[in-house]
Amino acid sequence: MFEQFKEWYDNRHEYAKKWKERTGGKVLGTFCTYVPEEILYAADILPVRILGSHEPQDVSEPHIFAMFCPFCRDCLAQGLKGRYDYLDGITIAQSCLHIRQTFTSWDLHIPVDFRYYLPHPMHVQSPQAIPYLTEELKVFKKAIEEWTGKEISNDDLNRGIEIMNKNRRLLQQVYELRKKPNPPLTGLEAMLMVVSSQMTDKREHNKALEELLQKLPSRSLDESGERLMILGSEDDDTEFVAMVEDLGARIVIDEHCTGTRYFYEEVNTNGDALASIAERYVNRVPCPSKDWPERTRLDHIIKLAKEYDVQGVIVMQMKFCDPHELDTPAIKEALENDVGIPTIFLEFDVTVPIGQFKTRVEAFLEIIREEDLF
């Protein structure tokens, strides 16, 4: 049922190359989750999220300090190795400084036809954030129009919004099924589904989701064990998720930037298109780099944990990721002390094999099992 999503995930570069051949369109690499893909779909551009490969590498060292997060170095390594050589351009909307360095180094050392830095507000809790971003989106739209030589009409923008919203809605419908006592999909399948949405044409992805939703509600998997949540920054660590689920647990929900933080919340379709897009990207569940002065993400995490009846949380910390590391103590305290959900903190680095986590996750599952006895 999930073979198509795995195929897209595994063969992302071949997919994008074939998409180009088939459509004659442009492919734009995006960093992080704040790039307004609605405008790219409106311009018939394929947005492709730039992600790492989880392999050790030694090519990014001259360009990014070793104390920057391994994810942003892994992403740059993919560019330096030529794996994204089909990209016509790259763009970033400001999120954290580490990934911005990836964008800057990519821009300096890897030739592309178009590059765009979108100054997305960091102080998203400011009343000025939406009007500010709306103006920035106008400039971004103009730059895209000049690059493609084609004007983007209001109808185009509404079409782009609908493509993105439909994908969000369908993913949400699948996620709703994960609330069931015995969810009909594994955490690994959910991860392949959501991450593949970020590297394929969403119109194709939507079709695959619609077909999936016809069959999935009646699917029955073997009874699963402990219901877990994973949370953190970027996480498409399929090997780790498979390992956790092989130990008998089931990951039923996530709160990270290649999962729910990417697709939660639709764009309002009633108002001015660009203002509505700005509103969505300012009001969405924030990356911790933008979640201040109030820490709003905590309530959202607790709400998810309750809705999905979570028994334990794995905090997946990317090594050297300052924004997330700053949030971790507050998250652990809120989960453990306020709602009594145990957590485990694991520090990830692409150069460290995940096998070392097995014993720690086993011990964590034992704690949950013992707590369930009382």
79 binds ligand SF4 (CB under 6 A): no
Q: Is the dihedral of CA 10, 198, 358, 233 positive or negative?
A: positive
CB of 282 to ligand SF4, least distance (A): 18
Question: Of 51, 194, 252, 321, which one interacts with ligand SF4 (CB under 6 A)?
Answer: 321
Work out whether 106 is an interface residue with ligand SF4 (CB under 6 A): no
Between 98 and 115, CB nearer to ligand SF4: 98
Measured from the CB atom, the residue of 163 and 231 that comes closer to ligand SF4 is 231
CB of 187 to ligand SF4, least distance (A): 20
Beta bridge mates, 115:
90
Distance (Å, whole) CA 151 – CA 139: 13
Give the count of beta carbons closer than 10 Å to the beta carbon of residue 295: 15
Among 35, 72, 171, 230, binds ligand SF4 (CB under 6 A): 72
Please tell me what DSSP assigns to residue 338: I
Among 318, 331, 341, 368, binds ligand SF4 (CB under 6 A): 318
Q: Which of 50, 69, 77, 252 binds ligand SF4 (CB under 6 A)?
A: 69
Cis peptide before 293 (omega within 30 of 0): yes
Q: Nearer Cβ to ligand SF4, position 2 or 84?
A: 84
Instruction: Kindly state the smallest distance separating residue 212's Cβ from ligand SF4, in Å.
Output: 29
**Judging by beta carbons within 10 Å of its beta carbon (0-12, 13-18, 19+), is residue 86 exposed, middle or buried?**
middle
Binding to ligand SF4 by residue 233, rule CB under 6 A?
yes
- Of 151, 314, 178, nearest to 252 by C-alpha is 178
Beta bridge partners of residue 227, listed in sequence order: 250
Contact (Cβ atoms closer than 8 angstroms) between residue 246 and residue 201: no
For ligand SF4, the closer CB: 1 or 97: 97
Torsion over CA: 243, 246, 248, 253 (sign)? positive
Beta strands in the chain (DSSP E): 27-31, 46-49, 89-93, 114-118, 227-232, 250-255, 312-318, 343-348
Count of residues of this chain found to bind ligand SF4 when the rule CB under 6 A is applied: 12
96 binds ligand SF4 (CB under 6 A): yes
Q: Does 348 bind ligand SF4 (CB under 6 A)?
A: no
Q: Is the CB of 99 or the CB of 344 nearer to ligand SF4?
A: 99
Stretch that binds ligand SF4, among 1-9, 93-101, 162-170, 263-271 (CB under 6 A): 93-101
Residues sharing a CB contact under 8 Å with residue 2, sequence separation 6 or more, in sequence order = 185, 189, 192, 193, 212
How many distinct helices (H) and strands (E) make up the chain?
15, 8
Residue pair 250/226 in contact by the 8 Å Cβ criterion: yes
With binding defined as CB under 6 A, does residue 77 bind ligand SF4? no
From 15, 351, 36, select the one nearest 27 (Cα to Cα): 15
How many residues are recorded in the chain? 374
User: In the complex with ligand SF4, which residue's Cβ is closer, 26 or 324?
Assistant: 324
Q: Which amino acid is at 370?
A: E
Q: Is 98 in the site for ligand SF4 (CB under 6 A)?
A: yes
Q: Which is nearer to ligand SF4, 103 or 357 (CB)?
A: 103
User: What whole-number distance in Å separates Cα of residue 38 and Cα of residue 118?
Assistant: 14
Does 234 participate in binding ligand SF4 (rule CB under 6 A)?
yes
Q: Does 51 bind ligand SF4 (CB under 6 A)?
A: no
Beta-carbon count within 10 A of 15 CB: 20
Question: Of the two residues 72 and 118, which places its CB atom closer to ligand SF4 in the complex?
Answer: 72
Give the per-residue contact string, 259-298, with ligand SF4 (x = CB under 6 A; - = no).
----------------------------------------
Q: Which of 29, 47, 259, 323 binds ligand SF4 (CB under 6 A)?
A: 323
Residues engaged in binding ligand SF4 (CB under 6 A) = 69, 71-72, 96, 98-99, 233-234, 318, 321, 323-324
